[in-house]
Each structure stands twice: as structure tokens, then as C-alpha cells.
Structure 1
Amino acid sequence: MAGAGGDGSLLAISDLHVRHADNRAIVEGLRTESPDDWLLVAGDVGDTVEQIEWALRLLAGRFAKVVWSPGNHELWTPPTDPVTLRGVARYAHLVELCRGLGIVTPEDPYPAWEGRGGPVTVAPLFLLYDHSWRPEGFDTPEAALAEAYRTGVVCTDEYLLHPDPYESRSAWCAARVAETARRLAERDPALPTVLVNHWPLVREPTRVLRYPIFAQWCGTEATADWHVRFDAAAMVYGHLHIPRTTWYDGVRFEEVSVGYPREWRRRSAPPGELRRILPEPDGVPPSAW
């Protein structure tokens, strides 16, 4: 699969959270600037299968290609969702939903973007987290999790994101990391990559979290060198709801989340602006947007 040339751009967004009416209106307003534009969606589209399908169907009809990586919200099994699948079965259901819409998932061959700023291999990833990003003084995942419960800073994943048939989300993460590393190692070595994952591949972006202990639900030490190891031209992520551009080892990391209305209403920038990944924007700021 290859991206056409023309005037298109490789664009990105995440954390649409369309269960909120104001966010749903943002998605309804998203438009392409060129018929050749691709859109990278880095997870947390919605909480229920109906919400996810509504948003992705709309976007698939507007962009030349949509590439999706799941977030933790897509993997939840909320009690209000008629689709009661859990864990791997739920993820597989969403993959088939996306394929029916012509959307690229982490289970599909990685497409090549050959438009402006290319060629690059676009690699949507699904990696989860393993509680290895722990605060100082907490030597085990169990200790860090106990401290989170003690302080009341607990991710909803603990209640709604089931790892079935794995014994834990950490075990599911280990399996995803191993399989994804194998696939990335087999890609065309002549092309750089754009890596797309809901969670950041390195821990540094989580250092600005208001509650540092929440970082244990944000990634894994196993991917700390992937942006270098797999020749990334850019890394796209969300989850933190802190949209900004940062650089690690010379690689551009783009946090592209919309976030919740209570968050984006406080920002000076209008919500829902698509971030251009390629061609690389001129004058990209080195830190916060």
C-alpha cells in the first residue's frame, strides 16, 4: 500500500473522546485540505463500539487513508456498551470494524507514505503499558500500584480494561512488544518510519504530569530506544492530553490529543486542529504548543 504524491500531507490527531458532545462536534468539523491527505488517529476515539464506529466511519469518508492505533478507552468494556467483548476479543472486533471501513490497523501491513516529506513507512502500533514507569522509591509494580490506590490516583483501566486471555495487562503488553518489535525489524530498512502509538515510547513526556504516579499507565521501558532503533522520522502519540512537540535523540515526538472539553477550553489554541507530521512544518517549537 502506498500513498500518492500530489499536495497531500500526513496529518495526526488523537484522544477525540466523542462521548462528549462538544468533542463530537469537533470531529464533525474535521476536514482535509487536500484529497491526498492521510490521517493518523492515535487512539481514544470513544468508549463504546458505537462511538468508535461513528467517528472512524466519518473520518474514513473524508481522508484518502486513515491509520488507527487503539488507545485504552477503545479497549474498555463499559457496562453501558451492548458489545460485551473483553481484552483480545474486543481488540480483534475493532480491527475487523476498521478493516471494513478501509482503515489501516496495527494488524495490517505497514503502508508507505510517498507524498510530500516521504517516502516513509507508517507503522501503527498497539503496545499497552507494564507499570515499569514507576516513581522513585517504588521498586515493584505492586508497590507503585498500592501507592496509587492510597493516593486515589488510579487509572479507570483498572476497572474496565480487561486483559483476557492474558493474566494481566503487563503480560499482554509484553506479548505486544515482542510481536511488534519483530514486525518492525522486518520492515523495509531503506525507509525511515513514522511510529504511531497511543502511549509515548519514552518516559520523558510523562515528567510534566500533574500526578507523576499516573505514568505507570502510560508506557513501558521496553520501547525506550525504539525511536532510534527503528529509524523514526517522527513519533506520534496521545494519552497524556498535553499536546506539544518535543525532541528526543533528534527525533520529533508529537503529542496530538484533543482531550476532554474541560481541558481544551483552557487552552489558547482552538481544539481539533490537525497536526502536520509530514512534510515537517517549518519552525516547529522545541517544547510546548
Structure 2
Amino acid sequence: MAVGLGAPSRSFAAGSGGGGGGGGAGRRKKKVFLHSVPTRCLIQCRTREPATKVYAVSDLHTDYSENMAWVRGLSIDSYASSALIVAGDVAETRENFAATMKLLKDRFRRVFFVPGNHDLWLRKEKGLFLHSLEKLNALLDVCRELGVETSPAVVGDVGIIPLYSWYHQSFDKEKDVSGIRIPSIDTVCKDFYACKWRQELSPKDTSLAICFDSMNEVHRDSIEQIQQNALHIITFSHFVPRQDLCPEKRMLFYPNLPKIIGSDLLEERLRLIHGANGQPSACHVFGHTHFSWDVELDGIRYVQAPLAYPRERKRRMNGGAEWLPFCIYDGALTARLTSCRWSEYYTLNKRDPNNIDLAPWVARFYQQQR
């Protein structure tokens, strides 16, 4: 479990072949870059823009008509001088992705994006892309055409840093739930067949996590400029940087969820940016699990503001839609959210990953499956 980690275990990169290479030093030497990841230099950080609000949202999933209607319903005027962080999972198809990002760019002065897993699905693309990295390049091209930003930049006094990432199953360090029949990850996680990868990459080892993490290296100089000049820094990713940003396994209808949500490399990288002990101005926005979340851990504030699926909003799993997009910055980091059921729960209750006694609602669910 990733509790208070400043750096992941050195055993992370162990393996050979498609499994992610050798140890930490070997991993850092081998860099994987996509030709179309933006490489333009950061505009001089000392050239300040007027103070602006920064909003955050993730998991728009606009392939659902209700979610696309929500985006269309955002005010044309209210956000005209503001920036928006979009922490992945915009849409499954390139067509819907482009339509969604255009709507957002029409409403916000600046829009920032990192890809999520659904953005790279190919099952409805009719053979347009050979693999998911090719689709990623196409989505980045769309972003450039629309003026959506996928590189670090400064907005007023705040630095905004997108972090590319992918999950790996060894991210899960907690005790597994036993005594019930849990479907396999391959069965439950559509990524395993909706995404396609080059031969050397696999979702079953660390190779994808390393590949996506290496994409951040091209922005090293830009990040250093931001660290030197910005008064506040907000990093963001789609995937989860530490396991204690997800409910314990006994609380989950799918207890193996932590194996497909996060990356140790992501926490390591954002700690390099914000500092091992964090700082009052440090914030990281993430997505993917659809649980609204707002908590400070080891000096960094972690926030998830998901639109999620329509059925989840009806159950208010994400806290509803009234508070979205969430204003995370307005001259300083804004007050903590009050609509985050799970992060509030763990503020009041100590996390106990060794307790694998199923929560009542989970126990009832599996009893019904028999």
C-alpha cells in the first residue's frame, strides 16, 4: 500500500522483456517519447497573466448523451477568463473527444488535458488506428488544433503540470479479499481488449506505466522553470498516485479494483515536483475511480472531481453534478470540498487494509451472485 511514500520501492522495475526492464537506474536510461507529445518551450514564467480561477473535472464520458448535455450546458460567459483542468476520460471516440474539447475551449480561456484509459479505446474507431499510442498522437493533434494544452504552463501565479501515466497491477500492496468468487481482471477491465499496444507493451506488467511516465521527461526543463517562478503548483493525472486515495478492498463491489487504478511512478514524480514532504501550495488532481475525493496527505492536497456515469450521479457516488466543475484555485487553493463521502469517511476513520471482512453492502452483493 502506498501510505506516505516519497518514492516507490526499487523493486518496481524488476522484470525482463515486456515486463518493464531492469532496476530503477536502467528504467531511467531508457526513455520512450511519442513524436507528437508537445515539445515547445514554456512561455517565460516571469510574464504574469492576470489572476485567474482554475477549475477541475475528470471522467466526462461524453459518449453518454446526458454527459455531453452537461458539457453543452456549461455557461458561455461564467468561465470566460478561467482555466480548466480535464483529468482524462473525455470520450471513447475521437469524434466525441474533439466535439467535447471544442465545447470546453469555447467556454474556458485555457483548457489543460491528460489522457485516460477510455480516451485510448479503439473498439469504436473502425480500424482507424493500429494501436492506442497512435490514437494518443491523434488526440494530441486535436488538442493542438483547438488550443487545448497538454504541456506544463503558468496561468497567473499558478503552474499547471500535466502528468502522463498508466496503471500497473503491482501498485496494489494491500491484502486481498478472500472467501468470495471475484471475477478476473481480464473479465472486468475492458482496457484489456478495448486498447491495443505495440508488442513490447502490456497491461499485465509495468511496461505501460514506464512508457507513459517517460513521456513526462520531455517537460523536465519547463517544470523546473515553474518550480522556480510559480507561487502555486497544481499537477494532474488521470490515474491514482497512491492507494489510500481509494476505499479499502472490503468496501468495494469489485475488491480487485486497486490493481487497475494507479502507478507508483506517478507518486514518485509528483513528489519530485512538490517536494518529498509537500508544501501548503501543493495540489494534485486525479480521476479514474469516479469517487469524489479531497484530502491532504503528507503535505499535498489530492482532489478528484469526476462527472462519472449518469447512473453513478443518480446514486450520488460522485457527489452529484451541482458542484462541478470544481474551482480548485482562486488566488490560492480554495477550501476543501464537503461533498466527498469517502475522503470524509477516512478523515474520521482509520484505514485498516488488513481488515478484509466485507462491508455489509458488498457482502449482500456477493450473496446475491450465488
TM-score by length of 2: 0.67
Q: Which moved more, 1:218-227 or 1:21-30?
A: 218-227
CA–CA distance in structure 2, aligned partners of residues 204 and 220 of structure 1: 12
The answer to whether structure 1 residue 133 and structure 2 residue 171 are counterparts is yes
Say which of 216, 227, 246 aligns to 1:206.
Answer: 246
Which residues in structure 2 correspond to 1:266-285 (within 5 Å)? Answer: 266-267=315-316, 269-271=320-322, 273-279=324-330, 280-282=333-335, 284-285=337-338
Match of 2:74 in 1: 30
Match of 1:104 in 2: 149
Q: 1:4 touches 1:36 (CA, 8 Å); kept in 2?
A: no
TM-score by length of 1: 0.84
Q: Which moved more, 1:25-34 or 1:258-267?
A: 25-34
Identity, % of aligned positions: 25
Q: 1:135 touches 1:212 (CA, 8 Å); kept in 2?
A: no
Which residues in structure 2 correspond to 1:1-289 (within 5 Å)? Answer: 1=43, 4-6=49-51, 8-31=52-75, 33-79=78-124, 81=126, 83-105=128-150, 108=151, 110-114=152-156, 119-134=157-172, 136=174, 149-150=183-184, 154-164=188-198, 166-169=200-203, 170-180=206-216, 183-184=219-220, 187-188=224-225, 189-190=227-228, 191=230, 192-208=232-248, 210=252, 211-231=254-274, 233-267=282-316, 269-271=320-322, 273-279=324-330, 280-282=333-335, 284-285=337-338, 287-288=343-344
Secondary structure of the structure 2 residue equivalent to 1:61 = helix
CA–CA distance in structure 1, aligned partners of residues 185 and 60 of structure 2: 28
1:271 deviates by 4.8
1:34 deviates by 4.2
Secondary structure of the structure 2 residue equivalent to 1:187 = helix
Alignment gaps of 5+ in structure 2:
1-42, 346-370
CA–CA distance in structure 2, aligned partners of residues 84 and 281 of structure 1: 41
Q: Which moved more, 1:83-92 or 1:9-18?
A: 83-92
CA–CA distance in structure 2, aligned partners of residues 208 and 137 of structure 1: 10
1:148 deviates by 6.3
Q: 1:166 touches 1:172 (CA, 8 Å); kept in 2?
A: no
CA–CA distance in structure 2, aligned partners of residues 97 and 283 of structure 1: 33
Equivalent residue letter for 1:121: G
Q: 2:241 touches 2:266 (CA, 8 Å); kept in 1?
A: yes
The count of residues paired between Structure 1 and Structure 2 equals 273
Q: Residues 165-202 of structure 1: CA distance to partner in whole angstroms, max 9, x if unpaired?
A: 54314313212223425734752232342111001212
CA–CA distance in structure 1, aligned partners of residues 213 and 336 of structure 2: 34
Equivalent residue letter for 2:285: V
Match of 1:142 in 2: none
Q: Cα RMSD between the aligned structures?
A: 2.7
Q: 2:59 touches 2:287 (CA, 8 Å); kept in 1?
A: yes
Equivalent residue letter for 1:37: S
Equivalent residue letter for 2:265: A
CA–CA distance in structure 2, aligned partners of residues 184 and 217 of structure 1: 27
Q: Residues 61-82 of structure 1: CA distance to partner in whole angstroms, max 9, x if unpaired?
A: 1110110111100111014546
